[in-house]
Homo-oligomer: A and B are copies of this chain.
Amino acid sequence: MKRREFVKKIAAGSAVAGGLLSNAQPSLAAKRFNWKLVTTWPPNFPIFQDGVKRFANDVRRMSDNQLNIQVFAGGELIPALQTFEAVSQGTVEMGHGAAYYWAGKIPAAQFFTAVPFGMNAQGMNAWFYGGNGIELWQEVYAPHELVPFPMGNTGVQMGGWFRKKIDSLADLKGLKMRIPGLGGKVMAKAGVNPVLMAGGEIYTALERGTIDATEWVGPYHDLRLGLYRAAKYYYYPGWHEPGPALELIIHKKAWEELPKELQIIVQTAAEASNLQMLSEFEANNLDALHTLTNEHKVQIFEFPADVLRELHKLTLETLAEEADKDAEFKKVYAAYSSFSKNMDAWNAISEAAYARALKL
Q: List A residues at the B interface (Cβ < 8 Å).
A: 1, 3, 6, 9-10, 13-14, 16-17, 20-21, 23-32, 58, 61-62, 64-66, 117, 120-123, 125-131, 155-156, 158, 218, 236-239, 242, 260-261, 264-265, 268-269, 271-272, 274-276, 278-287, 289, 300, 302-303, 305, 308-309, 312, 339, 342-343, 345-346, 349-358, 360
Bound together, the chains give a CA A343 to CA B309 distance in angstroms of 27
For residue A274, which residue of chain B has the nearest CB?
Answer: B275
For residue A269, which residue of chain B has the nearest CB?
Answer: B268
For residue A239, which residue of chain B has the nearest CB?
Answer: B357
Task: Verify A16–B6 contact, CB threshold 8 A.
Answer: yes
Bound together, the chains give a CA A1 to CA B19 distance in angstroms of 11
A-B contact list, 23 entries, CB within 8 Å: A3-B20, A6-B21, A13-B13, A25-B64, A27-B30, A62-B62, A62-B264, A64-B261, A117-B358, A122-B282, A125-B275, A125-B278, A237-B349, A239-B354, A242-B354, A268-B268, A269-B272, A271-B275, A285-B350, A289-B346, A303-B357, A312-B360, A352-B355
Listed from nearest, the 3 A-B pairs whose CB atoms lie closest are: A130-B283, A271-B272, A126-B282
By a CB distance below 8 angstroms, the chain B residues around A9 are 13
By a CB distance below 8 angstroms, the chain B residues around A128 are 279
> Among A9, A286, A354, A355, which residue has the most Cβ atoms of chain B within 10 A?
A354
Task: Verify B20–A286 contact, CB threshold 8 A.
Answer: no
Bound together, the chains give a CA A287 to CA B338 distance in angstroms of 13
Question: Beyond A26-B28, A286-B343, A300-B349: 11 further Cβ-contacts under 8 Å?
Answer: A6-B13, A10-B17, A123-B282, A128-B279, A242-B354, A271-B271, A271-B272, A271-B275, A272-B275, A282-B346, A355-B355
For residue A23, which residue of chain B has the nearest CB?
Answer: B32
For residue A311, which residue of chain B has the nearest CB?
Answer: B357
Known: A16-B6, A300-B349. A283 touches B126 (CB 8 A): yes
Task: Verify B279–A125 contact, CB threshold 8 A.
Answer: yes
Bound together, the chains give a CA A128 to CA B283 distance in angstroms of 9
By a CB distance below 8 angstroms, the chain B residues around A260 are 61
By a CB distance below 8 angstroms, the chain B residues around A284 are 130
By a CB distance below 8 angstroms, the chain B residues around A26 are 10, 26-30
**Which of B3, B24, B31, B117 is the one whose CB lies under 8 Å from A357?**
B117
By a CB distance below 8 angstroms, the chain B residues around A272 are 268-269, 271-272, 275
Task: Verify B127–A283 contact, CB threshold 8 A.
Answer: yes
Bound together, the chains give a CA A308 to CA B354 distance in angstroms of 10
By a CB distance below 8 angstroms, the chain B residues around A285 are 346, 350
Known: A264-B61, A268-B62, A271-B271. A351 touches B120 (CB 8 A): yes
Task: Verify A286–B345 contact, CB threshold 8 A.
Answer: yes
Task: Verify B66–A25 contact, CB threshold 8 A.
Answer: yes
Minimum CB–CB distance from A353 to chain B (whole Å) comes to 4
Task: Verify A237–B357 contact, CB threshold 8 A.
Answer: yes
Known: A286-B346, A350-B218, A354-B238. A122 touches B278 (CB 8 A): yes
